[in-house]
């Protein structure tokens, strides 16, 4: 019990220090950026006494350490301030936009991991063969071609020319006011309401940008899977398993992949986190009303409360997924568990 409590305590201390560091970084970046939040609110033509009054109301006339303390106290209460761009509380805007990003990134990582892991295993098993070369070329293209160019070409081909998918946005105007958003995830909301025509429309808008994100995550995941599998297939336990007469299928999928999944979990988790925060270009090309587009528009309009709030959410996602991958790592590899 003492060891368990000590492990939990150290775990909580790590989380606290990590979040404190994240808060400090976001705060000081906001202060050193050449953007005056007061001028963003009142305009650069406001009288001097108005500028001074707003600066005092925001606490920007106080020493930096006091500003940081006020910032921490507000964040602890869930107050990220008010967005200059939308005039809404930043947390309210994040609740509205983040589900769209989660929906997009989740389908993207399901495509990327669902195809990338089997392709990586296949390439490792057929090392040097045609399949291996194809997987490596697909991965190279995924690393090399800009995602905004692929997004534009995808819209031109599959939306404008062939009409196979929906266009920009999350849903057509026809369903925008008839589909009630309860959870923020339109696929779930449409399914719960039994509006299957709206469900199909939402899916048609989602499939193309999610496939692009999935392709880019597939390129990374398949490459890492191949590398991990090559390392495992060269281990002595694989030779011993073959000597015992186990089938090749059981050796590959039951033993080698199981061991390769230990580091692969971290790769998939970080890929998912990257999709949640790095889909800005995809959201811009497809006019997807997610968190990435919200942060980009806020930055362009000097809306620092929104930028810092969105950055803090993205950092929290990375921290959370890193911690989750560490827990899964311990479940998959008994050697890492506390004895």
* Ramachandran quadrant class, 78 (left: phi over 0; alpha: psi -120 to 50; beta: rest): left
User: What are the φ and ψ backbone dihedral angles of 89, each rounded to 5 degrees?
Assistant: -60, 140
CA distance 29 to 38: 16
Same domain, 24 and 52: yes
Same domain, 195 and 48: no
CA distance 319 to 315: 6
Same domain, 162 and 270: yes
For the segment 261-278, the average pLDDT, to the nearest whole number, is 83
Cβ-Cβ contacts under 8 Å for 138 (sequence gap 6 or more): 119, 218, 219, 222
pLDDT for 235 beyond 80: yes
CA nearest 83: which of 75, 93, 68, 73? 93
Contact (CB, 8 A) for 18 and 316: no
Tell me which of 76, 104, 128 is where a domain ends.
76
- Assigned domain for 86 exists: no
pLDDT for 249 beyond 80: yes
Round the average pLDDT of the chain to a whole number and report it.
82
Sign of CA dihedral 77, 75, 73, 52: negative
- Assigned domain for 83 exists: no
Same domain, 329 and 198: yes
User: What are the φ and ψ backbone dihedral angles of 272, each rounded to 5 degrees?
Assistant: -65, -45
Q: Which residues of 274-293 are buried (b: 16+ CB within 10 A; e: fewer)?
A: bbbbbbbbbbbbbebbbbbb
- Of residues 120 and 330, more confidence is placed in 120
Q: Which DSSP symbol is given to 59?
A: T
Same domain, 292 and 211: yes
Same domain, 181 and 296: yes
CATH classification at residue 107: 1.10.3720.10
- Assigned domain for 234 exists: yes
Same domain, 109 and 27: no
What is the structure's pLDDT at 281? 77
Contact (CB, 8 A) for 104 and 319: no
Query: Between the CA of residue 228 and those of 10, 252, 265, what are the distances in Å?
Result: 30, 12, 11
- Assigned domain for 90 exists: no
Q: Which helix (H) or strand (E) holds 48?
A: helix 48-57
For the segment 209-216, the average pLDDT, to the nearest whole number, is 90
For the segment 264-269, the average pLDDT, to the nearest whole number, is 88
Number of domains in the chain: 2
- Of residues 168 and 49, more confidence is placed in 168
* Ramachandran quadrant class, 87 (left: phi over 0; alpha: psi -120 to 50; beta: rest): left
**Residue-number span of the structural domain to which 220 is assigned:** 96-336
Same domain, 134 and 281: yes
**pTM for the whole thing?**
0.82
Percent of the chain with pLDDT over 90: 8
- Per this entry, what is the length of the chain? 339
Q: Which DSSP symbol is given to 177?
A: T
Same domain, 175 and 242: yes
- Assigned domain for 85 exists: no
What is the structure's pLDDT at 114? 92
Q: Which helix (H) or strand (E) holds 176?
A: helix 173-176
Q: Which DSSP symbol is given to 169?
A: S
Tell me which of 47, 76, 105 is where a domain ends.
76
If 0-12 CB within 10 Å is exposed, 13-18 middle and 19+ buried, where does residue 264 land? buried
- Assigned domain for 87 exists: no
Same domain, 66 and 115: no
3-class SS at 82? strand
- Of residues 214 and 10, more confidence is placed in 214
Same domain, 254 and 282: yes
- Assigned domain for 265 exists: yes
CA nearest 251: which of 266, 264, 234? 234
Tell me which of 76, 108, 139 is where a domain ends.
76
Percent of the chain with pLDDT over 70: 91
- Assigned domain for 88 exists: no
Per DSSP, which regions of 154-220 are E strands? none
What is the structure's pLDDT at 336? 60
What is the structure's pLDDT at 334? 66
Same domain, 64 and 113: no
Q: What is the pLDDT of residues 142-163, one digit of tens each?
A: 778 888 888 888 889 888 888 8
What is the structure's pLDDT at 111? 92
Q: What is the pLDDT of residues 22-67, one digit of tens each?
A: 788 877 777 776 666 777 666 667 777 777 787 777 677 777 788 8
């Amino acid at each position: 019990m003492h060891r368990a409590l000590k492990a939990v305590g150290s775990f909580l201390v790590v989380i606290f220090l990590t979040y404190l560091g994240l808060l400090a970084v976001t705060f000081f970046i906001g202060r050193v950026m050449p953007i005056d939040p007061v001028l963003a609110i009142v305009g650069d033509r406001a009288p001097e006494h108005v500028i001074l009054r707003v600066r005092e109301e925001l606490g920007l006339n106080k020493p930096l350490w006091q500003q940081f303390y006020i910032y921490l106290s507000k964040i602890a209460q869930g107050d990220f301030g008010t967005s200059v761009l939308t005039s809404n509380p930043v947390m309210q805007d994040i609740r509205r936009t983040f589900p769209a990003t989660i929906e997009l990134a989740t389908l993207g990582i399901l495509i990327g991991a669902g195809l990338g892991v089997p392709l990586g295993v296949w390439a490792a098993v057929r090392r040097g063969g045609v399949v291996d070369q194809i997987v490596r070329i697909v991965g190279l293209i995924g690393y090399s071609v800009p995602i905004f160019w692929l997004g534009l070409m995808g819209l031109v081909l599959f939306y404008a020319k062939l009409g196979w998918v929906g266009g920009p946005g999350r849903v057509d105007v026809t369903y925008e006011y008839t589909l009630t958003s309860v959870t923020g995830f339109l696929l779930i909301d449409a399914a719960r309401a039994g509006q299957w025509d709206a469900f199909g429309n939402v899916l048609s808008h989602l499939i193309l940008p999610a496939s692009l994100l999935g392709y880019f995550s597939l390129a990374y995941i398949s490459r890492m899977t191949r590398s991990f599998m090559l390392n495992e297939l060269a281990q002595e336990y694989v030779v011993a398993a073959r000597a015992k007469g186990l089938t090749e299928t059981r050796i590959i999928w039951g033993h080698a992949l199981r061991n390769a999944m230990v580091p692969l979990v971290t790769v998939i988790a970080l890929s998912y986190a990257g999709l949640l925060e790095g889909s800005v270009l995809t959201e811009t090309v497809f006019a997807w009303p997610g968190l990435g587009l919200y942060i980009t528009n806020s930055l362009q309009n000097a809306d620092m409360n929104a930028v810092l709030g969105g950055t803090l959410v993205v950092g929290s996602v990375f921290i959370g997924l890193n911690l989750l991958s560490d827990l899964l790592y311990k479940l998959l590899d008994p050697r890492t568990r506390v004895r």
